[in-house]
Amino acid sequence: MTTARVFGMLLLALLGTSASAQSAAVSPPVPLGPPQVTAGAPSWVPPHALTQADASAWLDGMMPLAIGRGDIAGAVVVIVKDGQVLAAKGYGVADVKSAKPVDPERTLFRPGSISKLFTWTSVMQLVEEKKLDLDADVNTYLDFRIAATFGTPITLRDLMTHRPGFEETIKRLFTEEPKHMAKLGPGLKARVPDQIFPPGSTPAYSNYGAALAGYIVERVSGERFEDYVARHIFDPLGMTHATFLQPLPKRLAPDMSSGYDKASGEPKKFELIWMSPAGGLSASGADIARFMSAYLGGGAPLLKPETVRLMWSEIYQRDPRIPGMGLGFYHEDTNGHVVVAHAGDTVAFHSDLHLIPDAHVGLFFSQNSAGKENSGIRGHLFRSFMDRYFPAPPSKPQPTLASAKTDGALIAGYYDSSRRSETNFFRVGNDQAKVTLNDDGTISVSPFLALNGEPRRWREVKPFVWREVGGSHLLVAEMQDGRPREIASDLYPQVFVFSRSLFRDLPSWNIPLLIGTLSMLLLTVAFWPIKAVLRWRYSSAFPYQGRAATMYRLTRLTALLDLVFLGGFFGALAYGSIHLDFFDTPSDWIFRGLEVLGVIAIVATVVPLYELRIALADPDRPWWTKLSDGLIALAALAVVWFAWSLNFVNFNLNY
């Protein structure tokens, strides 16, 4: 995680909000995002025959225990093979209170970013009709303009490979109130994210980019996006329990599964997603099976076979040692098999879709609860499925290189995710990975946890290539001039990259500075009235007069102002991490007010600096008073640093 994110978690903890809540909600990579990391592979065993009986027995032996231990209310699993549904299983309940069971034919789940596959399918249908050009400037199809910040236009190919260069935004991503839903076109026009990378250069997963593609479908087809998908995808496939409409139509609303943080908690309201093409789908497992079968069968009746092959080809590889990105699909090649996939997350629902083209097999999983931290069911399900039915052939063990400790020490440090906010105050939610060298010469990477919640260990098997200890995953470092530039792993799709952190973002000095700043401000504000009470109690005179007395009091007011400024920002973020609909236009006045307060606090920094000057020039003041004045002045300067580095005063409410 980034320094900024550590700041956020630390302050949210001080404010009484759990880090897990902040991770799930404030951090952009979770909602509508790519999958969590998957579990490592067990020892090789001969493959089982993928039959209805074996798959059903295997799922029945795994899933009930897994969702129970994970505090997950319900889940659906669908396996298709050769155009037929091999298994369609519902586990647990769609509603805890009524104990309504999950029905794979009827129960609707929210597959989050798997919705994007329907958007990309729509785009490619229009490409086949020559109404869209993958390499044309997207402005050709829009009624507003996306600026070419880096002199290069954004194309549909960039959008489909998550390389438009947009920074991450979360404002109005989710809401529970229909009246707060923005319309697609006006919403996109009003909330164009800043570009932080040249188009086509750096993968940075973008919900806005997918929604923009959906709006282009709407503009070119002349149909509302929801209607286009219904007519051109749902109807031809017979997907009667699928819709992009929000709120749900009356005929489908009774079949909607409730969503939960944990099954033991209260249900959440239906999550409304204004960027519908990026994550607004509601669908049953059986209908997702129809969609998977169409692709595995060559695309008919949706697309031509050559179009499907193009979408599944590796259009982009950041590192040739790691599976790359197709058009809309990303690769999760496993055990020697090509696997194209997508995953999706809302706050409550978490889903995975995997296609194995050479076996004509598809696997879909969705759970209606976030569940306990590190429950990791969906990742474990996929890895176990592959190892059971499509295991990798036995291979000779690779010895650990003698250079393991030296190379591990070289790449140890912090790395920033390219999927981040850079120009707005949600920079505080950016993700950062920490690479640590272990005593035994292996390395660990902070986000890459095993099912038990412990960091995975990686041993170097080739120069700057590490293999998971007890597993099959790879981690690679891209070197430049003898120094690490990026790290990548096949644990996650290549829709973002981790690049070496700048000095300004290193927690090694920022965290102590933050703790010291908060401590000094709190002590200054707390001891101000305490000292006044003690002077009154013991009839002691106030030690300063005139200008010195004025500056003493103004310095304490500045400390209070700094504390309210930082505390207010993180308090608002803490509240929003629990109530995502807080991050919406009606809350703009709160953040605008905090920004104004921050500007006042920055200007007021001259007060403790002047107070320090007075103290140092006064020979009668004791050394401890001069020291405390110096620490207060340093704390005020640190507030200026945090206000600038976290974008708390740049007046950008497109966050």
Q: Domain holding 308: CATH number?
A: 3.40.710.10
pLDDT for residue 21 is more than 90: no
Residues 117 and 235 in one domain: yes
pLDDT-derived band of residue 70, with 50, 70 and 90 as boundaries? very high
Lowest pLDDT segment from 39-48, 448-457, 491-500? 39-48
pLDDT of residue 178: 85
Pick the last residue of a domain from 341, 356, 389: 389
Burial class (CB within 10 angstroms; exposed 0-12, middle 13-18, buried 19+) of 478: middle
* 188 and 151 both lie in a single domain: yes
Q: Residue 165 in contact with residue 148, Cβ under 8 Å?
A: no
Whether residues 461 and 524 share a domain: the answer is no
Q: What is the mean pLDDT of residues 172-180?
A: 82
DSSP 198: -
Q: HSE-up of 66 (CA within 13 Å, CB side)? A: 24
Does residue 46 lie within any of the structural domains?
A: yes
User: Cβ(620)–Cβ(567) under 8 Å?
Assistant: no
pLDDT tens readout for residues 338-388: 999 999 999 999 999 999 999 999 999 999 999 987 778 998 999 999 999
13 part of a folded domain = no
> Per the domain annotation, does 6 fall within a domain?
no
Q: 481: alpha, beta or left, given left = phi > 0 and alpha = psi -120 to 50? A: left
Distance CA 16, CA 608 (A): 30
- Is residue 120 domain-shared with residue 102, that is, in the same domain? yes
Of 220, 219, 218, residue with least CA distance to 229 = 218
**Residue 415's closest CA among 476, 495, 506?**
506
Task: Tell me, yes or no, whether 655 lies in a domain.
Answer: no
Q: How far apart are CA 86 and CA 102, in angstroms?
A: 18
Say yes or no to pLDDT of 586 above 60.
yes
At 443-458, the pLDDT tens digits run: 999 988 887 888 999 9
| pLDDT value of position 344 | 96
The pLDDT, as a whole number, for residue 581 is 82
Query: CB–CB of 631/612 below 8 Å?
Result: no
Question: Where does the pLDDT of residue 39 fall: very low under 50, low under 70, confident under 90, or very high at 90 and above?
Answer: very low
Please check whether residues 418 and 553 belong to one and the same domain.
Answer: no
The answer as to whether 120 is a domain residue is yes
pLDDT over 80 (residue 527): yes
6 pLDDT tier (thresholds 50, 70, 90):
very low
**pLDDT, the chain, mean:** 91
In a domain, 23, yes or no: no
Distances from the Cα of 134 to the Cα of 123, 140, 204, 311, angstroms: 9, 11, 19, 12
Do 498 and 530 reside in the same domain of the chain? no
How far apart CA 238 and CA 240 sit, in angstroms, is 6
C-alpha to C-alpha distance for 12 and 7, rounded to whole angstroms:
8
Q: Which helix (H) or strand (E) holds 243?
A: strand 242-243
Is the pLDDT at 213 greater than 60? The verdict is: yes
Residue finishing a domain among 477, 504, 531:
504
Q: Which structural domain range is residue 550 located in?
A: 506-645
Last residue of one domain, picked from the residues 504, 522, 543: 504
Predicted local distance difference test score (pLDDT) of residue 43: 56
Q: Please report the pLDDT score of residue 176 as a whole number.
A: 80
Judgement on whether residues 214 and 283 belong to the same structural domain of the protein: yes
Structure tokens at 465: 């290539």
Considering the domain architecture, whether residues 500 and 511 belong to the same structural domain is answered as no
Range 236-241 average pLDDT: 98
Domain co-membership, 482 together with 532: no
CA atoms of 212 and 139, how far apart (whole Å): 10
- Does 305 share its domain with 160? yes
Nearest CA among 495, 163, 164, 155 for reference residue 331: 495
Quick check: 188 and 215 in contact, CB under 8 A? yes
In 3D, which of 116, 24, 89, 81 has the Cα closest to residue 367?
Answer: 89
130 φψ region: left (φ > 0), alpha (ψ -120 to 50), beta (else): left
Return the minimum-mean-pLDDT range out of 510-519, 572-581, 634-643. 572-581
Q: Which residues contact 219 (CB under 8 A, 6 or more apart)?
A: 141, 142, 143
Tokens describing residue 147: 């600026």
Contacts of 288 (CB under 8 A, 6+ apart): 78, 111, 114, 242, 353, 364
pLDDT surpasses 90 at 32: no
For the chain, what is the domain count? 3
C-alpha dist (Å) from residue 237 to 292, 296, 341, 454: 10, 13, 20, 43
CA angle 29, 34, 38 (to 5 degrees): 110
Which residues are CB-neighbours of 132 under 8 A, at least 6 positions away?
Answer: 123, 126, 141, 156, 216, 220
Cβ neighbours for 380, distance < 8 A, ≥ 6 positions apart: 38, 39, 66, 451
Residue 524 DSSP SS3? helix
Centre a 10 Å sphere on the Cβ of residue 14 and count the other Cβ atoms it contains: 14
Per-residue pLDDT, averaged over 260-285, amounts to 95
- Please check whether residues 514 and 455 belong to one and the same domain: no
Q: Give me 307's structure tokens.
A: 């179009």
Output phi, psi for 539, to 5 deg. 55, 45
Q: Are residues 500 and 519 in the same domain?
A: no
